[in-house]
Amino acid sequence: MVISDYITPVMFVDPIGEDPVLLALLASSGPIGWIGIVIIAIVIVYYFSDEILDYVDTTIGATVSQFEKTLYKNYTVYSLIDEEGTIKYVGRVKTTNYNARIAYHEKTKPGLVAGPKIDNLNYWECRGIEQLGIIGNSSGWFEMKTNPSGNKINGISNLNPNRFDYYSAGIRYIWNNLENEWINLFH
């Protein structure tokens, strides 16, 4: 005889009927047991249905929100330049707010004027291009003596979990535009 010959489902009966482990062991005895497992699963899902639906709604909402940011091309990356044309600051803004943002900078960053800008970017491209602009223009960093109007904060934190996606979107945008310019040069 093997040990399983001594174990019967009756041994696992929970007199109160509230022990899920014993119920699962009881349910594991043949086709009737599978019906018990399905019933337990349905009860659990029903019991936690509000939490499950909230999680699904939140997850879907966050995914849709991130996806929508790629659909709309309503962001601008802009620069502020000094009288020599040197980029001293790089920023991003929704395109509809561009003029207000430049007016603000004219008041708060004397001696700088609007420089080159890129319009019609989606959110991801905008974030990547802004940070690449800050990195690519060493004069864009804040320094009290030489560039008091420069960027004090990175557009993308090193801890941001989306940073590589932002960089990729920015680089892809720049590469596509370089490719288009190259093709137009010869056609």
What percent of the chain is modeled with pLDDT above 90?
22
Among 7-11, 26-30, 61-65, 126-130, name the most confident range: 126-130
Q: What is the pLDDT of residues 48-59, one digit of tens each?
A: 777 777 777 777
Which phi and psi angles does 120 have, rounded to 5°? Answer: 60, 45
Of the pLDDT bands very low, low, confident and very high (cuts 50, 70, 90), residue 9 is: low
Q: What pLDDT, on a 0 to 100 scale, did the predictor assign at position 139?
A: 62
75-104: b (≥16 Cβ within 10 Å) or e: bbbbbbbbeeeebbbbbbbebeebeebbee
Q: Which letter does DSSP use for residue 158 in this model?
A: T
CB within 8 Å of 50: residues ≥ 6 apart: none
Of the pLDDT bands very low, low, confident and very high (cuts 50, 70, 90), residue 42 is: confident
Number of H helices, E strands in the chain: 6, 3
Q: What pLDDT, on a 0 to 100 scale, did the predictor assign at position 125?
A: 92
For residue 14, is pLDDT > 80? no
Q: What pLDDT, on a 0 to 100 scale, did the predictor assign at position 158?
A: 84
For residue 130, is pLDDT > 70? yes
Q: What is the pLDDT of residues 140-170, one digit of tens each?
A: 666 767 777 777 788 888 898 988 989 998 9
Token digits for 52? 């499950």
Q: Which of 52, 53, 14, 56 is nearest to 36 (CA)?
A: 14
Q: What pLDDT, on a 0 to 100 scale, did the predictor assign at position 86?
A: 87
For residue 31, is pLDDT > 70? no
Q: Is the pLDDT higher at 69 or at 14?
A: 69
Q: What pLDDT, on a 0 to 100 scale, did the predictor assign at position 94?
A: 93
- The predicted model gives 128-133 an average pLDDT of 91
Q: What is the pLDDT of residues 64-108, one digit of tens each?
A: 666 666 677 899 999 999 899 888 899 999 999 999 999 999 998
